[in-house]
Amino acid sequence: EVQLVESGGGVVQPGGSLRLSCAASGFTFDDYAMHWVRQAPGKGLEWVSLISGDGGSTYYADSVKGRFTISRDNSKNSLYLQMNSLRTEDTALYYCATDGGVIVPTYYFDYWGQGTLVTVSS
């Protein structure tokens, strides 16, 4: 059974930093690209970032480019999101999700975790 468990969320002041983690199990982690998707309270879904299975390729939404860094440790079956220079508009529930494709990304989100809440507030 595929399981994705996010952690690391919390309350942080504007300009601060947080590092989110996603622990994966139940599948061959390094065969799959991974995504972060977020959802502001009461709002819709917003794709944030993608990393390839080997970690060699990364992509970011315009809204987080230059501030967020996605990474992964395949030896630990873990995905990360380093978030710097946080803004109030980054307040959201952050989900990690598997890409739908084995080895070759298909760019849809197959399995999702339950999310970790990030609140940016002074």
Partner 1 sequence: SYVLTQPPSVSVAPGQTARITCGGNNIGSKSVHWYQQKPGQAPVLVVYDDSDRPSGIPERFSGSNSGNTATLTISRVEAGDEADYYCQVWDSSSDHPGVFGGGTKLTVL
Closest approach of Cβ 84 to partner 1, in Å?
19
CB burial of residue 37 (10 Å; 0-12, 13-18, 19+): buried
Closest approach of Cβ 93 to partner 1, in Å?
9
The residue written with tokens 């595929």 in the block is 2
CA distance linking residue 17 with residue 23, whole number of Å: 20
Q: Quick one: 113 or 120, whose CB is closer to partner 1?
A: 113
Amino acid making up residue 84: N
The residues binding partner 1 (CB under 8 A) are 35, 37, 44-48, 50, 59, 61-62, 65, 95, 100, 106-110, 112-115
Closest approach of Cβ 108 to partner 1, in Å?
4
Cα torsion angle, 87, 17, 41, 52, sign: positive
Q: Quick one: 48 or 81, whose CB is closer to partner 1?
A: 48
